[in-house]
Structure 1
Amino acid sequence: MGHPSQVTLKTAFTVCFAVLAVVALAVLIIKAEVALILTGIAALLAVALDHLVAMLERARLKRGLAITLVLSALLIALTTMALLVIPSAIAQGQELTTQVPSLIDEFRASSFFQRLESRFHIVEQLERKGRDSTELATGALPPLLWAVTGVFSLVGAGVTVAFLVVFMLVFGPGLVQRLLSQALPERRARYERVLDKVYTATGGYLAGLTFICTINATLTTTFLAIIGMPFFLPLGIASGFSSMVPYAGPIVAGGLITLLTLATAGTWKAMAVLIYFLLYGQLEGNVLAPLIFRRTVHVNPLLTLFAVVFFAELAGIIGAVLAVPLMATGQIIVRELLLVRQEKLGARVPPPPPPL
């Protein structure tokens, strides 16, 4: 006779319930992807601004007044930038957009593209994909309606993030304290330590990232203006934002700006732009990024690159931007779990016998 099964009905139900819970969580994450992305962006902004609020609180200001001052300063800074920079950037961007067809024709007529076309048949593949996209888009909304819908979606996302940031700043600390008060007393100190590490690492990363983006935008805009690039302002701003994606962002932006310079300003200026981005890449990769990622979030550059690739596949550019703080948070939690395990193993080891 065979041995009776060691798996009880309770164990089977527990396993099935766990599998169903994991599937339900995966479906929920997929369905609520946009909401999770907006919440993540709002949380990062709230953490960054909360460091300024905490600084004002240490100066004996009440939290409500500190939040008001920080948000007012942010609004003034954004308004000033919008009035001084954005109109010129939009004008240059519109001029660049009108010249895109002629730039594409010039690029297709170049000997470099002709060699690529003879070998890879790029035009034929693009036309085939274009026909497939047209067939799939049959009955879709007109392009103008798509553009209007996209603008309203972007504005709605911005308003949602703004309200989330305000509510997180006002009610977030109290909610965190209430959640911590529900933990067991012997575990509360550990949870507080983990949250404090995540808070410090995220704030340091965001402050450093803002500094890097500002340096990138300033240096690139100045250099492109000096060499006489006609669209220096939008390209410099785009280059600055590219630093939000660690390591990979500046490489992609530098390559695109170099190709655009080659098409609009000639070979010599394109070579100058290429040399500039190679030098700036060394500055950001060997000086600025290590200063931020190793001293604030303590994440290895290789893990950072893996995180960027993984989260970019999950959530696009926003996922790549959130990759480093998410990786830092995961690393802090894993280290704390390993520390708990070491403490448990150390408690199980019997003390050495007393000397005779």
Structure 2
Amino acid sequence: MPLFRSSAPEPVEAVAGPRKAWSDSFGRLATRCLQAIIVLVIVAGIVFAASTLSVVTIPVLIALIIASAMHPVVSWLRKHRVPSVLATLAVLLGVLVVLGLLGWLIVVAVENQWSDLQDSAVDGFKQLQGWVTSLPISISDSQIKDATKTVTDFITSAQFGSGALAGASATANFLTGLVLMIVVLFFFLKDGPRIWEFLLRPFSGSGYARARRVGDRVVSTLGGYVRGTAAVAAVDAIGIGIGIAIVGVPLALPLAVVVFITAFIPIVGATAAGILAALVALVALGPVQALVVVGIVVLVNQLEGNFLQPVLMGRTLKLHGLVILVGLTAGTVLAGITGAVMSVPLLAAAWGAVQVWDGPDQPARMWRQKRSEDVAVKARAQR
């Protein structure tokens, strides 16, 4: 038995505590999935609310986009000592005059040339009927008459009448949204910076600076997109309008206005306008002139896409074509033609906000481009 006992404490075996269920790899994956589900639910709720209140949300978004485009004009007038109210009213009246002029050009031109186009459509339908009966597939005159009678019966049916009532309701909603858009646009043009500053009151410090960066980038992106697209659309409308007028296509002026409007829908807008112009030329003039119109549309679109659009839109629209196509589809499903027009600028604005999330030229952490040397360093550290 030893006379002296060591004062050092005897080693105690470490008792492993209970393993946390959310700390392993599967738990982290479950956490990320739960977070993704929560985000999707919130986004779905926002989209559902916006779709339900489309009479309010769509006019407000349109007013925001137009106000972003016209903000430099209002600022320029104020710098030259024009009173704020007068500058706002001048820009607002200018926007309304341009929109009203586009609608007036379509209505007047269609009204003046509608009878000629109607006669040409009747002749074209007879030619189409003769061409159909000469096909190898046996299609008799009675079948064509039955199809025509079906369309006529539908037009005179109660179902078509209910559709007309739905159209009247849509017209009322359109007028309501138009009035709301004009009022909201006035206040956005007049007090836009003060409204944004009021919304930023809950933020402070780095959060306030981030919100200011995001707001400035969203406004500049939306404004740059609208101004650049308007310039591209004007060139498309002038080029295609002059071309189809030389060919002798009726309704050349309304078709040029349609080209201008559809140019605000990337990828598919120009194609839709070209198809419409070619159909009018086919009905009114014949297949040769229709092919000439198709060639004019393709030539103008190639010149615009390869030369003009990269100069005017290169710094604004930094989105992949697949993202644009998916955004167009989603916007069309949710809000029709209006959603197709607004989806791309909203996507561009969201991407612009991501690009300045962590600094003036520093994107959000998860969206930063990974350099090869950074990936190699991280891989060595994990070994």
TM range (shorter): 0.7 to 0.9
Match of 1:141 among 133, 158, 162: 162
Which residue matches 1:41?
62
Match of 1:52 among 69, 73, 84: 73
The structure-2 alpha-carbon separation of the partners of 1:132 and 1:41, relative to structure 1 and needing over 3 Å to count, comes to: farther
- Aligned counterparts of 2:161 and 2:302: Cα–Cα separation in 1: 46
1:233 to partner: Cα distance: 1.7
Please say if 1:331 is aligned against 2:351: yes
Shift of 1:135: 12
Following superposition, the deviation at residue 267 of structure 1 comes to: 2.5
User: 1: distance between equivalents of 2:119 and 2:158?
Assistant: 25
Instruction: For 2:163 and 2:347, locate their aligned partners in 1 and report how far apart those are by CA, in whole Å.
Output: 41
SS in structure 1 of the partner of residue 87 of structure 2: helix
Superposition RMSD on alpha carbons, in Å? Answer: 4.1
Alignment-mate amino acid for residue 365 of structure 2: R
Query: Can you list the C-alpha shifts for 1:80-139, whole angstroms capped at 9, x where unaligned?
Result: 666667423432356535754553443343259946897xxx989x88996997899649
Correspondence for 1:110 among 131, 138, 146: 131
Q: Deviations over 1:325-351 (max 9, x none)?
A: 1111221233345745389xx9xxxxx
Distance, in Å, in 1 between the alignment partners of 2:354 and 2:138 is: 50
Q: Is the 8 A contact 2:92 2:185 kept in 1?
A: no
- Structure of larger gyration radius: 2
User: How far apart in 2 are the matches of 1:27 and 1:85?
Assistant: 34
Q: Distance in 1 between the 2:114 and 2:123 partners?
A: 15
Structure 1 residues 304, 123: CA separation in 2 closer, same or farther (over 3 Å shift)? farther
Change (3 A) 1:139 1:298: closer
Amino acid at match of 1:173: P
Quick check: which one's helix share is greater?
Answer: 1
Structure 2 Cα separation of the partners of residues 67 and 285 of structure 1? 34
Structure 1: gaps spanning 5 or more residues? 347-356
Relative to structure 1, the CA distance from residue 238 to residue 25 in structure 2 (aligned partners, 3 Å threshold; closer, same or farther) is: closer
Q: Normalized against structure 2, the TM-score is what?
A: 0.72
The aligned residue for residue 334 of structure 2 is 314
Partner of residue 108, structure 2: 87
Residue aligned with 1:296, SS:
coil
Percent of residue pairs identical: 25
Q: 1: distance between equivalents of 2:74 and 2:204?
A: 29
Partner of 1:71: 92
TM-score normalised to structure 1 length:
0.77
Aligned to 1:227: 247
For residues 137 and 336 of structure 2, what CA distance do their matches in structure 1 show? 29
CA contact (8 A) 1:225 1:232 kept: yes
Q: Does 1:185 align with 2:205?
A: yes
Most deviating of 300-309 and 188-197: 300-309
One-letter amino acid of the structure 2 residue matched with residue 72 of structure 1: L
Question: Match for 1:141: what amino acid?
Answer: S
What residue identity is the alignment partner of 1:204?
A: G
Output the CA distance in 2 between the equivalents of 1:22 and 1:271.
Answer: 46
Worse-matched range after superposition: 75-84 or 284-293: 75-84
The 1:287–1:19 alpha-carbon spacing in structure 2 relative to 1, beyond 3 Å, is closer
Alignment CA distance shift 1:305-1:288 (3 Å)? farther
8 Å CA contact retained: 1:229, 1:265: yes
In the TM superposition, what is the alpha-carbon distance from 1:218 to its structure 2 partner? 1.8
With over 3 angstroms needed to count, the CA separation of the structure-2 counterparts of 1:314 and 1:80, relative to structure 1, is closer
Deviates more, 1:107-116 or 1:317-326: 107-116
Q: 1:17 to 1:167 in 2, by over 3 A?
A: same
2:287 is aligned with 1:267: yes
Output the amino acid matched with 2:60. Answer: T
The one of 221, 229, 236 equivalent to 1:209 is 229
Offset at 1:271? 2.0
- Amino acid across the alignment from 2:302: Q
Match of 1:278 among 289, 293, 298: 298
Which residue matches 1:174?
194
Distance 2:124 2:155 in 1: 24
Deviation at 1:183, TM superposition (A): 0.6
The size of the alignment, in residue pairs, is 335
- Which of 244, 249, 273 is 2:264 aligned to? 244
User: Is the CA contact 1:90–1:234 (under 8 Å) kept in the aligned structure 2?
Assistant: no
Residues of 1 paired with 2:134 and 2:330: CA distance?
Answer: 32
Where in structure 2 are there 5+ consecutive unaligned residues? 1-17, 23-30, 368-373, 375-383
The SS at the match of 2:266 is: coil
Give the Cα–Cα distance (whole angstroms) in 2 for the partners of residues 307 and 175 of structure 1.
Answer: 28
Contact 1:38 1:157 in 2 (8 A): yes
